[in-house]
Amino acid sequence: MKKRELLKIKYLFRLILILFPIFFSINYARAASSGEVQNLKIGALFSLTGPGGLTGKLNMDGAMGAAEWINEKGGITIKGQRYMIKVIGEDDKSTGEGAVAAANKLVHKDKIKFIIGPLLPHCAIAISPITEEAKVICLNVNGIGVPEQMNPNLKFTFATYKNRNHIPFIYSFFVENYSNAKKVAIMGPDDPAGQVATPLSEKEAKGRQLEVVFAERYPFGTKDFYPILTKALGQKPEAIDMTVGIAPWFAAIIKQARQLGFVGPMFSWTPTGDIYFVRDIIGKDFADNIFFVEPDFKNPRMPPIIKEAAKKIMDKFGTEIKFSHVAGWEALWCMVQAIEAAQTLDTLSVVQTWEKMKNIETMYGKGRMGGKDIFGINHVIIKPIPITRLKKGKVEFIKFINP
């Protein structure tokens, strides 16, 4: 009798061991389908201090606003599991060393598999060995598209766009609207972006039968542009291509060039980050015949998503929306779209899905993945290109161009 009772207990114990995992799986599935929410952590690595701090802070705020906006709409769902987006921010301090330290923390300490940023090319280049080895997807914000930043060997690196795609469009606008200007001076920062930018502008200008009378670079972080401008204006240019940069540099170059007496058109095939800031710094008297690849967010022709983002940025941060807000917002939004399209958090699977996406929503309208023709890999978001001009002291949105 005692032996029989022991056998019953033994069989019951075995049955429990067999059935427990099944019950656990059923209960877990029920919890997931019943709306139990998890967090999806996404790293945001931007320049919050240093030369890029003004722009990077707005990038970060834009990403935070986008996360809140996405979460208010219910987050994202992957195979029945709902996730809220949680942004983990880090400062790259505008330096390669700072970017490496921040990336190591996000990847190895925080165990994050998805990162948006950085903004500055040298920071993006510095962290790519870390993110690539760890198979962490990194979505660069902006960037010219230097080979070290985008090439077929960088399997887990993407970009919201690359400025070099804009060169033909901005030069077409220049030639069509300023046909009397035949001599061009070209300048840009002496950093990885500028080192690629000035030769690209030279090639584009010469291909359009324009005479390049000056092409030099200034030290990264320059504030006094009088020496390089004096040298450039000595060659009698009729237009100045400022190639790449950020709002404070563009504002200083324009204002100092105008103070030296230059009245011709000035342009860049990258955005300023805040065209109203540039206009206000240089003064309305100097704000004429200047144009950028940039939208005017106050213009009623902006897409509806811009209006939603503008309201969120105002409500959350008490400020008007700027280009750099939108860049950070868009990076997070596009990252989330790719993850949800892949229906997995496995980064290799997300990569394979993302690079084939023919439709992706951007802040400027419908976009698609591209870049193979220039970079050898479809990891760049191709989207409508905005052109805005400063004319007689006013900001004038021209149009969106579909590339």
What integer is the mean pLDDT of 392-397? 95
Tell me the per-residue pLDDT of 323-352, one tens digit each, with 9 for 90 and over: 889 999 999 999 999 999 999 999 999 999
DSSP letter assigned to residue 394? E
Res. 390: pLDDT tops 90: yes
State the average pLDDT for the chain: 91
Question: What pLDDT does residue 9 have?
Answer: 54
Res. 6: pLDDT tops 80: no
Question: What pLDDT does residue 24 have?
Answer: 41
24-38, 167-181, 235-249: segment of lowest average pLDDT: 24-38
Confidence category of residue 403, pLDDT binned at 50, 70, 90: confident
Question: What pLDDT does residue 274 have?
Answer: 83
Q: Please spell the DSSP secondary structure of 234-269, one letter per residue.
A: TT--SEEE--S--HHHHHHHHHHHHHTT--S-EEES
74-88, 95-109, 191-205, 323-337: segment of lowest average pLDDT: 191-205
Res. 20: pLDDT tops 50: no
Question: What pLDDT does residue 12 have?
Answer: 53
Res. 400: pLDDT tops 60: yes
**Strand spans (E) along 47-182:** 76-78, 81-91, 114-116, 137-140, 157-159
Confidence category of residue 120, pLDDT binned at 50, 70, 90: confident
pTM of the complete model = 0.81
118 prior amide bond cis, ω within 30: yes
Tell me the per-residue pLDDT of 236-262, one tens digit each, with 9 for 90 and over: 999 999 999 888 899 999 999 999 999
Question: What pLDDT does residue 23 have?
Answer: 44
Strands 239-241, 37-46: parallel, antiparallel or unpaired by DSSP? unpaired
144-148, 167-171, 301-305: segment of lowest average pLDDT: 144-148
| Dist. CA 281–CA 250, nearest whole Å | 10
Res. 316: pLDDT tops 90: yes
Query: Please, what are the domains in the chain?
Result: 37-164+301-383 (3.40.50.2300), 165-298+387-401 (3.40.50.2300)
Tell me the per-residue pLDDT of 79-99, one tens digit each, with 9 for 90 and over: 999 999 999 999 999 999 999
What integer is the mean pLDDT of 294-319? 95
